[in-house]
Structure 1
Amino acid sequence: MPSIPFPDPTDAQQDQGALLEDTLRNRHVAILLQPIVSICEQEVYGYEALARGPEDTILHAPMALFEAARQNGRMLELELLCRELAIAQFGRLGLPGKLFLNVNPEALLEPGFRGGRTREFLERAGTDPGQVVIELTEHYPIQDFDLMREAVTHYRDMGFAIAIDDLGSGYAGLRQWSELRPDYVKIDRHFIQDLPSYPGKRQFVHSIGELAKSLECRVIAEGVETLEELEVVRHLGVSFGQGYHFARPHTAPPRAIPRGSFGSECQCSPFWHLTDSVGTLLQERPPLDPRSALDQVVDLFHHAPDLVTLPVVDGHEPLGIVRRYELMNLYTSRFGRELHGRKPISAFMRSEPLIVSRDTPVEMLSRRITEGDQVTTVDDDFIITDEEGRYLGMGTVVELLKKITELQIRNARYANPLTQLPGNVPIDEHIDRLLAGGEQFVVAYCDLDNFKPFNDTYGYARGDEVLRWLGRLLVEHTVEGRDFVGHVGGDDFILILRSGDWQAQCRTLLSRFEENAPAFYDEEARERGGIAAKDRRGQDVFYGFISLSIGAVPAGPERFHSHYEVASLTTEVKAQAKKKPGCSLFVDRRGTPGGPA
């Protein structure tokens, strides 16, 4: 029997090398761009450039393409080609926002490396370096952190922002993050896939978000493929997302993402909402047609001295803004009127104005302004639209600051002085607002058991310490931007929960409380399991450790009409929870499937 011929691996390597040579020589690399979106602002923030080799070949997949380049000593050549093509395509399409470029730090070690090439590509494409974010990617282990630091310094010196790609995957990790202090960190898609079903993944993403705040870093969730994953990502406080749910990589990607892709109204504001929306700042301003001549606009400013800024609107779509002082400086310059008077105003407008929907919470707009670079002074204005993006009017930063200050003073009046959490008035307003908006939520009344004998034994100072700790614990076990934590007074707290796994939240909270409460007792009491104190009749009674009782009421507009009705039932349900010994959760099931608890 003749022997079966097996392919020679050397032949395969030669074929691969020949194909790579042809790919590099003929520049047969396709660049796909995938949007990165701002989840809260519901708009495109930038694009990641992704390379693909020749179609229908073994080098089409990016991992195969770059592995072939590494094996054949052509990594630097391939990286520069991909970078050049990506920058050229981004500039040619005139896309908004940032351009994220994948860079392997090993390229700095390649023979023939010369700094400044990326800047050359940008100048050729007419793209500002401030738009570029360098994603440092490690496909192979690099133990030398000096090399990573060198890469960061090299690219930052050229004006680029820095991102760490695929956090939690490969060789990237927390050490890189802490040492390199990147501007962005991208969470690997593994932690986003099936996120709603895995508490461990949710905890990981939440922890990354908390760490990012302390390091002043922005977090991007990769691999968002479903609306359910997006909802959880948003509720965990992640500001940016990327994945098939928004758009697949494409040679000509979309400039905007449909509003429907973002699901429910954005809830990226803090635990304590300031309650007012941007619509309260609306000022009517006559919009300018983009075809209006500069002469006409200058005449309009001349006859309306109070006007500082005007919007340029095509139909209902806002395109930009024009400012009085900028136009007047141009118009009154030497030959300004003769050279520009008949040109359309669209040629002189600022084409990237700050545009915000009227239903946006004022605190979210304030954060957007302070963290961004579109509005720089209190004299600047912003455009206000309806929910469909149609022009309504304008608002001013001055009025926004006044509104923020007014609401902060008002809300501080109702804050609990011990925990600084919202008191009765903000709690009631929040419940009424959710009911009016048709929202489904759960009100959880939290109350301490055996707290009075603890106070009588150890004094009010230690009792206050317990209450402050409980307030922090409640905040820690709720989702920022999704849930609400309030302090009614004394040892009574209110949670307003909107996450699908609210029962798991409550049980985890009870477990943490039960585990840590004994630490507030002295050693003798911990050994005995409690303390002896007098009851209300003056009799000596043994009391176990402080415990936490939670009475939970599912709520919605089909069941309640106001906070008065909700408060009445939650008080009753809380009393049922306190009948159970130790830490307990009692859920009211009247009016919900399954009957009473």
Structure 2
Amino acid sequence: MIHPEEVKCKSIPLKSGKGALCRWGVQTGPGFHRDILQKRNGTCVRRLHCGASVPADKAEGRTEMTSFIVQEKSHDLFLRELLEKGRIHPVFQPILDVAEGKVYGYEILSRGMPPMESPLDLLAAARECGMLWEAERACRRAALEGIRRCDTGEGARYFLNVSPGVLSDPRFRELFTPERLKPYEISPDRIVLELTENLPVEDYGKLEESVAWFRKEGFSLALDDVGSGYSGLRTMAVSAPDFFKIDMEIVRGVAGDPYKKHVVRFLCSFAATVGAKIIAEGVENWEDMKALLELGVHYAQGFLFARPQKEPAPPPDHVMARLSAMYAELNGDDHMVGEGLRALVIKGTAARKGQMSCEDLEQLLRKNRTLDHLVVLDGDLPAGLITRQSFFLQTGGAFGYQLFQKRPLEEAAKKEFLAVPVFSPVSTLAKLAMERRQDDLYDPVVVVDDRGCFLGTVTMKQIISRSTELEVERVRSCNPLSGLPGNNHIRKWIGDARKESLFSLIYCDLDRFKEYNDRHGFLKGDELINFTATILREGLDELPEGTRLGHIGGDDFVLVCPGKVSSSALDAICDAFDRKKGLYFSREENAAGCYRATDRQGAVCSVPLVTLSLSVIEKDNLDLCAHPAVIAEKAASLKHAVKRITAAERRSSWLIDRRKAGVSGEAEQ
């Protein structure tokens, strides 16, 4: 007989009197019998009582031993009950396409019942009990039932988790086919198999074979938790995923971690090279989201937007509005004159559904050798795209033409194609176009109006050519010192702002900058200008969302703000400048609050430390017909008034013009 105290330090596989396999313990003899199932500390425990085979003085050890034995067995029973009785249900978490401002798809996660409600606990128990295949199959079945029940028909993609071992299992190929998906009313091109890597890949050859098979059947692949676990380079090379999902541990805190930023930037560059998309998982705050956008991530998922829900649902409107405003702000430099698509749109050839057969289209293409593509319309809305190359690939071969000859042309059309609003900037469109699948990379882009009605198409040649021209224009327009957008951008922003119901313009100017430049030299002067640009950039967080910052030249800057500017925001910018400017003066100058320099008249005098003046005008105080240049001049004229305030108080100050257009009066602080 094994002493109960020895059980604590030994692993002994054996069978109980009922024949159930126990992971730890001793042979349960006739003296053991079952009691009712109880719940203790949130865990299912089936207590056993021991008879005379255990000495009375070891009763405490016996209780600990027998409880531990049966607790392991009860997990097995509880898991089987979950799987067999269908007690696993799906939840949906949205994945956002930030550039488009919409939901791209949903990751479908699984939930069990306590104490195995978490998918991590559920799958860990399944691995422990040797039931991983059964558990993942139950999760997939629940996910597909959820899609069938809740899909809105808007074309969103669904991301389903699958482990490498299950993906490589021949049974998976038999059970997860396009034919098997038909009862759930979902096509393979809307399913993304998300490869999880909590365990190492055992056979890369089988994995590569399976990946090729599923891709041939129309499924896409995503690699989960890139940057952690077993998501290594070899798995990446073998699976060649369409989506890289950056692990949340890299995403969290990326805004303040230079090393993480380098990792994300590298992954974005690599993904762009191989034609994949980057999705950031676990986004939980706006600072990290902004950093991710700056690094080139355009797809995101996390609690910041929405928690997993029982049905697919987009994030709240205010969340999407803030996200779109952030994207517009970071890509605002692209919205210059000439960036719109309207001038590039080709009306092109279009045909309505049912209007032509594939035979008619084949004759049209052979007759008109310059016709490269055709758009299929459902009413006025684009419903499909046919390119010359894709059409002849489908209808070629021994039987291709006979199969398609009498069919309507929409059956040969691509149902997934890139369609963008006519007001989209060319540079953003170029990024979206180059993120498409390899087969669609050089397809034309369909352009629609604000109602989604067809306007025409734009070819990739046009997009690439115009993007190159705009990049040259952008470099010429930006200020070479600060790198901020220059006068061309500022004029465009002011022109756009005049169309809004509210806007404010802030003219920013350094006081006594000439004397500082003469006294400390041009290099220190350039440093002070860049410091000012940094302060104003940081101040954007306090100003209305969508505010744009430009550099007129020298020490003059402009902020164009949608809406009114609060006095607290202006105070924050002035205070930040005064608090940090000491770095650009000596200890003695800071202590004295001034320095000796030559003034504009050539006389040596005591000059106060540089301050920042902010002059603000609002739309209410403007002539609605005023030209953008006139608006800028009016804001500049206010600087003389605010400079008198800064000179008197020896601190940075601001002034808002309260004079109505056409009415005499004074500005007010």
TM-score when normalising by structure 2: 0.67
Q: Deviations over 1:145-198 (max 9, x none)?
A: 9xx343444652323444245559999996888779764323444x3xxxxxxx
| Aligned residue-pair number | 533
What amino acid is aligned across from residue 464 of structure 2 in structure 1? Answer: L
Q: Which residue of structure 2 lines up, in the alignment, with residue 42 of structure 1?
A: 101
Match of 2:529 in 1: 467
SS in 1 for 2:290: helix
Q: Report what 1:196 is aligned to.
A: none
- Give the structure 1 partner of residue 281 of structure 2: 186
Paired residue secondary structure (1:51): strand
Residue 414 of structure 1 contacts residue 425 of structure 1 at CA under 8 Å; is this kept in 2? yes
Query: After the TM superposition, which residues 306-321 of structure 1 pair with which residues of structure 2 at under 5 Å, given as runs?
Result: 306-321=370-385
Given that 1:100 and 1:135 are in contact with CA atoms closer than 8 Å, whether structure 2 keeps it comes out as no
| Structure (1 or 2) with the larger CA radius of gyration | 2
State the secondary structure of the residue aligned to 1:342.
Answer: coil
Please report how far the alpha carbon of residue 386 of structure 1 lies from its aligned counterpart in structure 2 after TM superposition: 1.2
Q: State the AA in 1 paired with 2:245.
A: A
Change (3 A) 1:44 1:439: same
State the shift of 1:356 in Å.
Answer: 0.7
Deviations 1:401-442 (A, max 9, x none): 333344444455544444343333431222112212x25332
Task: Give the superposition deviation at 1:97.
Answer: 5.8
Q: CA contact under 8 A between 1:446 and 1:551: conserved in structure 2?
A: yes
Deviation string, structure 1 residues 253-282 (Cα, Å, up to 9, x no partner) = 48x999999559765323352233222222
> In the alignment, is residue 566 of structure 1 matched against residue 631 of structure 2?
yes
Unmatched tracts of structure 1, length 5 or more: 1-6, 137-144, 192-201, 225-241
Note if contact 1:448-1:549 (Cα within 8 Å) is conserved in structure 2: yes
Contact preservation (8 Å) 2:79, 2:125: no
C-alpha distance in 1, partners of 2:435/2:569?
A: 31
Kindly indicate whether residue 496 of structure 2 is the aligned counterpart of residue 496 of structure 1. Answer: no
**Residues 73-472 of structure 1 mapped to structure 2, 5 A cutoff:** 73-74=128-129, 76=132, 80-81=136-137, 84-85=140-141, 90=158, 92=181, 93-94=186-187, 99=192, 101=194, 103=196, 106-108=198-200, 130-135=220-225, 148-153=228-233, 155-156=235-236, 157-160=238-241, 161-164=243-246, 166=248, 183-189=278-284, 191=285, 202-203=286-287, 205-207=289-291, 209-210=293-294, 213=295, 217-218=297-298, 220-223=300-303, 242-243=305-306, 248-250=309-311, 253=312, 262-263=320-321, 268=328, 269-271=331-333, 273-275=335-337, 276-291=339-354, 292-328=356-392, 331=395, 333-334=397-398, 336-373=400-437, 380-436=443-499, 438-472=500-534
CA 1:394–1:29: 2 relative to 1, 3 Å: same
Shift of 1:217: 4.7
CA gap of 1:556–1:58, structure 2 versus 1, over 3 A, is farther
1:507 offset after TM fit, Å? 4.1
Amino acid at match of 1:478: L
Where 1:274 maps in the other structure, the secondary structure is: coil
Matched AA of 2:82 = T
Structure 1 residues 154 and 84, CA, compared in 2 at 3 Å: closer, same or farther? farther
Q: CA deviation at 1:313?
A: 1.6
- When residues 531 and 128 of structure 1 are mapped into structure 2, their CA distance, relative to the original with a 3 A threshold, is farther
User: Could you say which residue in structure 2 is the equivalent of 1:487?
Assistant: 551
Whether the aligned pair in 2 keeps the contact of 1:555 and 1:566 (CA below 8 Å) is no
Letter in 2 for 1:13: C
Contact kept, 8 Å, 1:47 with 1:97, in 2: the verdict is: no
Do the aligned partners of 1:270 and 1:481 also contact (CA within 8 Å) in 2? no
CA distance in structure 1 between the partners assigned to 2:393 and 2:39 by the alignment: 74
Q: Deviations over 1:462-496 (max 9, x none)?
A: 32332244334434543799232222222111111
Contact kept? 1:76, 1:113, Cα under 8 Å = no
How far off is 1:115 after superposition?
9.6
Question: Could you say which residue in structure 2 is the equivalent of 1:576?
Answer: 641
Deviation at 1:385, TM superposition (A): 0.8
SS in 2 for 1:14: strand
What does the per-residue CA deviation read over 1:272-330, in whole Å, with 9 as the maximum and x for residues that have no partner? 52233222222112312343311111222233332111112222222221122343455
Determine which of 587, 601, 615 is the counterpart of 1:537. Answer: 601
Residue 124 to residue 413, structure 1, CA distance change in 2 (3 Å): closer
Deviation at 1:525, TM superposition (A): 3.5
Q: Which residue of 1 aligns with 2:162?
A: none
Looking at structure 1, the residues matched to 565 and 232 of structure 2 have their Cα atoms a distance apart, in angstroms, of: 40
**TM-score normalised according to structure 1 size:** 0.74
Question: For the aligned residues, what is the CA RMSD?
Answer: 4.5
Residue 48 of structure 1 aligns to a residue in which SS? strand
Shift of the 71–432 alpha-carbon distance from structure 1 to 2, 3 Å rule, reads same
Alignment partners' CA distance in 2, 1:78 and 1:257: 33
1:365: Cα distance to partner? 0.8
- Assess, with a 3 A threshold, how the Cα gap between structure 1 residues 123 and 274 changes in structure 2: closer, same or farther: same
Partner of 1:230: none
2:14 corresponds in structure 1 to none
Mark the CA change 1:114 to 1:539 in structure 2 (over 3 Å): closer, same or farther.
closer
Query: CA separation of 1:270/1:96 partners in 2, compared to 1, >3 Å: closer, same or farther?
Result: farther
Q: Percent identity?
A: 20
In 2 relative to 1, CA 261–34 (structure 1 residues): closer, same or farther, beyond 3 Å? same
- One-letter amino acid of the structure 2 residue matched with residue 20 of structure 1: L
For 1:221 and 1:589, locate their aligned partners in 2 and report how far apart those are by CA, in whole Å.
44
Mark the runs of 5 or more structure 2 residues left unpaired by the alignment. Answer: 1-37, 47-73, 148-157, 159-177, 268-277, 662-666
SS for the counterpart of 2:383 is strand
Q: After superposition, give the CA deviation of every residue in 1:501-540 in whole Å (9 maximum; x if it has no partner).
A: 7655544443443343333334554454432012233333
Report the Cα distance in structure 2 between the residues aligned to 1:295 and 1:223, rounded to whole angstroms. Answer: 51
Greater relative contact order (Cα < 8 A, sep 6+): 1
Does the 8 Å CA contact 1:441/1:555 hold for their aligned counterparts?
A: yes
3-state SS, counterpart of residue 109 of structure 2: strand
Amino acid aligned to 2:105? G
CA contact (8 A) 1:295 1:342 kept: yes
- Give the match's secondary structure for 1:338: helix
Tell me which residue corresponds to 1:142: none
Q: Deviations over 1:119-149 (max 9, x none)?
A: 859957976564324247xxxxxxxx9xx34
The 1-side partners of 2:394 and 2:216 are apart by 24
- Deviation, 1:451, is 0.6
Deviations 1:363-414 (A, max 9, x none): 2212222344478666x31111111222121111222233334444445554
Q: Residues 388 and 500 (structure 1 numbering): CA distance in 2 closer, same or farther, change over 3 Å?
A: same
Match runs of 1:581-592 below 5 Å: 581-589=650-658
